Amino acid sequence: MTKTFDVFRAQLISADELNQIKENIGGLFSINTFFSTTTDCEIAAQFNATGFSSSFFASVLFEINVNLESITKPLADIQHYSYNKQEQEILFAIGTIFRIDFVEQLTDAIWYIGLSVSQHENQDLDELTESLKTEIGEKPTLLKLGEFLEKMGEFQKAKNFYHLLLNTLTEEEYTNRAKVYNSLGVVHYDHGDYEDALVAFTKALELHVKGGDTDDTLFLIFNHMGLVHSEMGNYDMALEYYKTSINTRLINYKSDDPAIAIGYNNIGTAHCDKGDFKLALKYHEKALKIQLRVLADFDPDLGITYSNMGLAHSENGNYRLARENYQKALSIESKCYPIYHPQLRSTYNNLGVVCEKTGDYDGAIKYHMQALEVSLASISLDHTILATTYNNLAVAHSWKGEHGEALKSYEKALECLLKVLSTEHADVASTYNNIGMVYYEKEDYVKAWENFQKTLTIELAVLPHDHPSLGTTYNNIGMVYEKRNQLKEALSYYKKSLNIRQKRLSINHPELATIYDNIGSIYNKFRMYKTSINYHMRALNIQRKSLPPNHPSIAVTLSNLGYVYANIGNLKTALKHQATAIDIAKKTLPSNHRSIILYQSRIDEVKNELNQLVISIRK
């Protein structure tokens, strides 16, 4: 390698970052991730050939002048280890500082930025670099390089590295092969290929046992197997793997080891999936306490913890704290990941969901659009992730009452999925379910029922018959039958849903409360008021144990309970429940939210009946 040379990189940066660079020519900026470049300008340009026009991102081509005698951060020529050797790849370390030499606009969509490597240091990034040095050791391996490529979102490159490594290892190198299979499983997991991930992790465990080694890899394998089982709905099995992983780690490490925090985080997530949000927060807070003590201020693992806490607070109905934690996660992630990284997409999505739950539908659409643009900008476009993003955007449009826009996004999601999945896949079933919900809200119950039936047919073919997703589908079909006044059929499907949820969820899971509430509404229509009140009270008791006192779901149940009391003529109790419902809703939802409008109409109905009763008594 000559002492002075040029390298190139094409990528997206945020529009704000481009403006800062244009205003700071001659100034400095630093990179906060590993920075992959090529010595061939034409190869770099291929990644930006058409440009990408967006209100959030700008497409740029960097030309970087390198003087080996003046650089202070390491770089590596990894051409010989690259799956595609034609890329002539040069990798810069975290914390490298560049001077901005010039900025030019090549086309309407592409900017050309000249940089040179500077000798300056960035103290904050040096903290992260030192943390990474501790993690990877003094002599980084190809396996570690693959792991960091995976963290950067370069999943295909990481996968290629792992396959190359497997080809170089002998069959007897059990421990090293176990490590590679474990890392390969992570890539499959990140792509949502859970069956392939489980195969890879199981192979890693078998090899590790053959090798007779008890090093750190065993902790990772158990932890990763827990993640896969959690995604597949096997939460109790996931918890067992997480606990085993922590116990394995504690054999050789102290209780404040960062890996122990990862284990606590995953236990918290599993409890969140099971509906025990308070216990979930307890474990996330244990993880956070360790990480704040031992990690750099914007370590990616810290961002994951804040994101997990945001989800637990959101599920627990505390949307203000949820949003605060998601914003903390976003602040960290925007510093340590490329802007097309899937973790950023995930956080934008989570912020969008919180906005939906508080009635800020315009804010939700904004965040989901940012998530969509991250997905479209990804180096390796993943159609399953793109489909998820379209699904989330559709939900926001649906909540806003923009059913046409919602259906367009759902159709795009379905189109993306069918490019890479079979017609009988759980994700395809989920999208049909979402389309059915739009038609349900449009009061087109025939098309709603048709899409829910498509969902059911696929799920019965590919999922265990007690899978939680089937419980949701049975519930939705029951809702359609209820709207069509086919009450016996509705009750039958609600009870099918109840049987699954009682089997697979904790006794105080909010989704159990939902189905109890729905069954209560059916018995109200059957005029079996005592039974109806019993089911609504079961729902309310669960919600009061598992949710904060001002959660919107409690308001829904109280209003339904008040509706039953009105039907049996107990108007004072009815008015009490409706008034409490609207008070709760006003604390958590915007004043024009449709739930508040419904509760107010029920209050007006009860007050009208009370007035009529007073008038009749006076006569």
Q: Is the predicted pLDDT of residue 35 greater than 80, yes or no?
A: no
Both structure tokens of 178:
């176990």
pLDDT of residue 380: 52
DSSP-assigned letter for residue 76: E
pLDDT for the residue 151: 62
pLDDT of residue 87: 57
Sorting pLDDT into bands at 50, 70 and 90, what band is 352? very high
Strand partners, 97: 30
Give percent above pLDDT 70 in the chain. Answer: 84
| Reported confidence tier of residue 285, pLDDT bands at 50, 70, 90 | very high
For residue 114, the SS3 value is: strand
Q: Which two tokens stand for residue 55?
A: 């209100």
Residue type, 49: A
Higher pLDDT: 480 or 90? It is: 480
More confident residue, 351 or 343: 351
The more confident residue out of 617 and 267 is 267
Maximum alpha-carbon separation in the chain? 105
Give yes or no for residue 297 having a pLDDT over 90.
no
**Residue 619: pLDDT band with limits 50, 70, 90:** low
Looking at residue 176, what is its pLDDT? 84
Show the tokens assigned to 380. Answer: 């390796």
Nearest-angstrom CA–CA distance, 455 and 453: 5
CB of 351 closer than 8 Å to CB of 332: no
Q: What is the pLDDT at residue 128?
A: 41
Has residue 590 got a pLDDT over 80?
Answer: no
341-345: average pLDDT: 84
Q: Say which DSSP state 92 is in.
A: E
3-class DSSP string for 448-498:
HHHHHHHHHHHHHHHCCCCCHHHHHHHHHHHHHHHHCCCHHHHHHHHHHHH
Give Cα separations from 320 to 324, 554, 590 (angstroms).
Answer: 6, 18, 13
Residue 246: the pLDDT is 93
- Is the confidence at residue 52, as pLDDT, over 80? no
- Does the pLDDT of residue 546 top 60, yes or no? yes
pLDDT score at 183: 87
The phi and psi torsions of 102 (rounded to 5 degrees) equal -160, 160
Averaged pLDDT of the chain? 84
**Mean pLDDT, rounded, for 347-356:** 92
DSSP assignments along 418-444, one per residue: HHHS-SS-HHHHHHHHHHHHHHHHTT-
Q: Is the dihedral of CA 171, 174, 180, 186 positive or negative?
A: positive
More confident: 127 or 277: 277
pLDDT band at 175 (very low <50, low <70, confident <90, very high): confident
CA distance 122 to 335: 13
Give me the pLDDT at residue 94, please: 60
Give the Cα separation of 401 and 407 in Å (integer). 11
pLDDT tens digits along 437-448: 999 989 999 999
What span, in angstroms and rounded, lies between the C-alpha atoms of 530 and 577? Answer: 16
Q: Which of 38-52, 70-84, 188-202, 502-516 is predicted least confidently?
A: 70-84
CA distance 563 to 421: 45
Confidence band of 400 (pLDDT split at 50, 70, 90): confident
What is d(CA 41, CA 110) in angstroms, rounded to the nearest whole number? Answer: 14
The alpha carbon of residue 33 and the mean position of all alpha carbons in its chain are separated, in whole angstroms, by 22
Non-local CB neighbours of 247 within 8 Å, separated by 6+ positions:
none
Instruction: State the DSSP H helix or E strand holding residue 30, giving kind and residue range, or none if neither.
Output: strand 28-30
Q: What is the pLDDT of residues 488-537, one digit of tens each?
A: 999 999 999 999 999 888 788 888 999 999 999 999 999 999 999 999 99
CA–CA distance from 14 to each of 20, 195, 331, 334 (Å)?
10, 36, 14, 10
Nearest-angstrom CA–CA distance, 408 and 561: 37
Beta carbons of 432 and 456 less than 8 angstroms apart? no
Q: Does residue 66 have a pLDDT over 80?
A: yes
**pLDDT digits 0-9 by tens, 117-158:** 876 554 444 444 454 445 444 444 556 666 766 665 566 777
pLDDT attached to residue 305: 96
Return the number of other C-beta atoms located less than 10 Å from residue 346's C-beta. 20
Question: Helix crossing, 426-441 with 403-420: angle to 10°?
Answer: 170
Query: Rg of the Cα trace of the chain?
Result: 27
What percent of the chain clears pLDDT 90, i.e. is strictly above it?
42
Domains of the chain: 4-136 (3.90.176.10), 521-618 (1.25.40.10)
- pLDDT for position 51: 45
**84-93, 255-264, 300-309, 358-367: the lowest-pLDDT one:** 84-93
Q: To which H or E segment does residue 175 belong?
A: helix 174-190
pLDDT at 1: 56
Most confident of 208-217, 345-354, 544-553: 345-354
Tally the residues of the chain: 619
List, as one string, the DSSP characters of 227-267. HHHHHTT-HHHHHHHHHHHHHHHTTTS-TT-HHHHHHHHHH
Structural contact between residues 595 and 585, judged by C-beta atoms closer than 8 angstroms: yes
Count of beta carbons in the 10 Å neighbourhood of residue 352: 27
Please tell me the predicted confidence (pLDDT) of residue 504. Answer: 83
Strands of the 57-67 sheet, one edge to the other: 28-30, 97-105, 110-117, 57-67, 4-14, 35-38, 89-92, 75-77
pLDDT tier at 266, thresholds 50, 70, 90: very high
Which two three-digit tokens encode residue 518?
A: 């729905």
Q: Please name every residue paired with 57 in a beta bridge, in sequence order, or none if there are none.
A: 14
Lowest mean pLDDT among 211-215, 235-239, 572-576: 211-215
* pLDDT at residue number 55: 61
Arithmetic mean of pLDDT, 356-370: 86
Q: Which residue has the higher pLDDT, 237 or 193?
A: 237
Does 345 score more than 80 pLDDT? yes
Q: Which has the minimum average pLDDT: 151-160, 321-330, 465-474, 503-512? A: 151-160
